[in-house]
Structure 1
Amino acid sequence: MLRTFFGKTLLVGIATLLLSCNTQTTAENPESTEPPVNSELTGTIIVGDVTSQPAKKIKRFQPLADYLAANLGEFGIGIGEVKVAPDVEAMASLLKSGQVDIYFDSPYPSMLVSELSNAQPILRRWKGGDAAYYTIIFAMTDSGFTSLQDLTGRKIAFDDPTSTSGYVLPMVHMMEAGLNMVKKESSDESVEADQVGYVFSQDDQNNIQWVISNRVDAAAIDHRSFLNIPAESREAMTVLAETEEVARHVVLVRGGLDPKLVEQIKQILLNMDQSPEGREVMEKFEETTKFDNFPTEGDIDRMRELYEKVKNK
């Protein structure tokens, strides 16, 4: 973004005076944080995200919104915007009403949003260098636990109820292993001898700390978060199970969007890793590596299957 600033200037001679006159109008304008806009292209492309940290997310998403807008001129689009919502229900409402055009998330919340808004999956996003990911369920080695069955009568921490890797994948995996999963409101609540009590910590880092501090007996986090635990701490942990893999992230577009516009959005995203500018924008966009045509509808369908298993828990 072009920014212009004029500090105090010593006016010496007529040439300097003329320069001062020519630039006076520009200097009076306040500095803008908005991207340059082609006044003839007033259409807007809006990228959405679910977050409790709006300022941080908007900063990360704005370059992508600007990049899309800069390449959608044939559709009258010249402005890129970012809108955030506090939860998936609110995001679904924004998509359904046309206030958001594109949404990125892991398969489970993407499925929920799709069900509520009729948004459609079009691509897979490689986030943080990962095309797919899975969940690791772990405990401290000194607990003596070596399998999921050892967690009977114990407590496990999940992330939050809309997390793919932090809830749905490990929950179904443990249910399919024959464990009686029972929700607890806090880590202090007692657990019956035939139960595995689960609590939500709301964050992967909380999960890790709760296990280390013995607040819970085990936790479930995505494989990348587990590998990012410092080696010294990780060596004191035992992996009890690994879940199936699913797409790291899914790209959804709102229902009713012009099919030609959708196809152009797909091509822009698919080609971003082919240019230095595109790669720079993706790096800012939470270290995205690329987009591809992985059959994301299959991931959404799988999430529907898993949702049927956990919705009443």
Structure 2
Amino acid sequence: MKRVGLWSGVHRSIQAVFWTLLAALVAAPAQAAGQAAPGADVDDAHVLVLGRISDDPRSDYDPLKALLDYVVPRMREVGITEGRVLMARDARQMASYLRRGRVDWVTEAAGTAVQLQQRADARLLLLTERNGTSRYRTMFFVHRDSPIRNLSGLRGHTLALQDPGSTSGYQVPMITLLDNGLVPGILAGPGDRPGADRVGYLFARSQLNVAVWVHKRMVDAGAISDLDWNDPARVPPAFKPSLRVVHQTDSYPGALELVGPGMRPEVEARLRQVLLQAAEDPAAAQALEKFFDTSRFLPPDEDTRRSLANLREGIARVNAEVE
């Protein structure tokens, strides 16, 4: 037991060092451009900090910075003259950044967004439309030759999901199973099997892996968003004839823009205005495309708020009954 505890401590230390190094690498471009790194000792009233939860900060930096470079010059009338990027490794860390005022504006998937609303009093600013779509569904699918015909048929079988931070690839599938009277249980790997009364789930870490595992019959079923289902990079066209959808959920919001509890009202109002007008501004086209293929920003309607409330309740149930 002592050796296991020692290794756990070493593992946590390695993780801490890893994230410290990543943060330094991501901050480097900003410093090279003459900007202060996040957390530097400066007067931050003129700085707009855009945050995102990421497991690949180096890749995510450029899309975030591109949008900031468009937004910041249009925020001067409310005192904003500089933009910075600050990424977190998980929702807990991002919630801390928001509460402490280290991040002002966050772009996240709906499932994470509702957690940040609960943990950090983040406020919903706008709905983000990407590739012409602002709402998604989750698709449950199996191999064409599988005897599974519907959700109830998943009992005693295995289900591949993306990762624990994914709305479409974990949170919504878990909520859907619970709402349909199914009991999920995590597995050690593709070779592990659940009890006859449970749906055994495991993480494939990417949408492509989910499709591959079902296609190769390493697992009995998979769950991904309808956008991923129709993306040939994530579900190759050669796989489609061997796969069959057995259930799709109701739609829910995709990406959202949130602001922290400490953002000044005039800054929030101007940021909302700039983002809403961006789709009509030719100067914004390149920044929007870089910003994860964003087509436009939309004001949240009652349907969006109702979907988020349902998602919030569902995630609370997953936390209580699954995790």
TM-score interval for Structure 1 and Structure 2 normalised by the shorter chain: 0.7 to 0.9
Q: Which residue of 2 aligns with 1:18?
A: none
How many percent identity over aligned positions?
Answer: 27
Aligned residues: 279
Q: Which amino acid aligns with 1:208?
A: A
SS of the residue 1:270 aligns to: helix
Structure 2 distance, partners of 1:53, 1:181, is: 29
Using the TM superposition, give the Cα deviation of residue 42 of structure 1 relative to its aligned residue in structure 2, in angstroms. Answer: 8.0
Structure 1 distance, partners of 2:140, 2:281, is: 39
Structure 2 distance, partners of 1:284, 1:224, is: 18
Which residue, out of 137, 143, 146, partners 1:134?
Answer: 137
Structure 1 distance, partners of 2:186, 2:71, is: 43
User: Aligned pair 1:262/2:268, yes or no?
Assistant: yes
SS of the residue 2:81 aligns to: strand
Q: Which amino acid aligns with 1:302?
A: N
Larger helix proportion of the pair = 2
How do 1:151-166 residues align onto structure 2 when only pairs under 5 Å count? 151-166=154-169
Which residue, out of 91, 100, 103, partners 2:103?
Answer: 100
Using the TM superposition, give the Cα deviation of residue 77 of structure 1 relative to its aligned residue in structure 2, in angstroms. Answer: 1.4
Using the TM superposition, give the Cα deviation of residue 35 of structure 1 relative to its aligned residue in structure 2, in angstroms. Answer: 8.0
What are structure 1's unaligned runs of at least 5 residues?
1-31
User: CA contact under 8 A between 1:66 and 1:81: conserved in structure 2?
Assistant: no
Which residue, out of 290, 299, 306, partners 2:296?
Answer: 290
Q: Which amino acid aligns with 2:236?
A: P
Q: Which residue of 1 aligns with 2:6?
A: none
Please list every run of at least 4 consecutive aligned residues from structure 1 whose deviation after the TM superposition is greater than 4 angstroms: none
Structure 1 distance, partners of 2:186, 2:98, is: 31
Q: Which amino acid aligns with 1:97?
A: R
Structure 1 distance, partners of 2:206, 2:119, is: 25
Which residue, out of 217, 222, 230, partners 2:236?
Answer: 230
Alpha-carbon RMSD: 2.0
Residue 42 to residue 94, structure 1, CA distance change in 2 (3 Å): closer
TM-score, length basis structure 2: 0.81
Q: Which amino acid aligns with 1:34?
A: A
SS of the residue 1:305 aligns to: helix
User: CA contact under 8 A between 2:49 and 2:85: conserved in structure 1?
Assistant: yes
Structure 2 distance, partners of 1:87, 1:220, is: 22
Structure 1 distance, partners of 2:211, 2:98, is: 34
Larger Rg: 1
User: CA contact under 8 A between 1:169 and 1:244: conserved in structure 2?
Assistant: no
TM-score, length basis structure 1: 0.84
- 1:95-138 CA-partner distances (Å, limit 9, x unpaired): 11111111111111111112111111111001232110010000
Which residue, out of 241, 245, 250, partners 2:251?
Answer: 245
What are structure 2's unaligned runs of at least 5 residues?
1-30, 37-43
SS of the residue 2:189 aligns to: coil
Q: Which amino acid aligns with 2:127?
A: R
User: Aligned pair 1:47/2:47, yes or no?
Assistant: no
SS of the residue 2:218 aligns to: coil
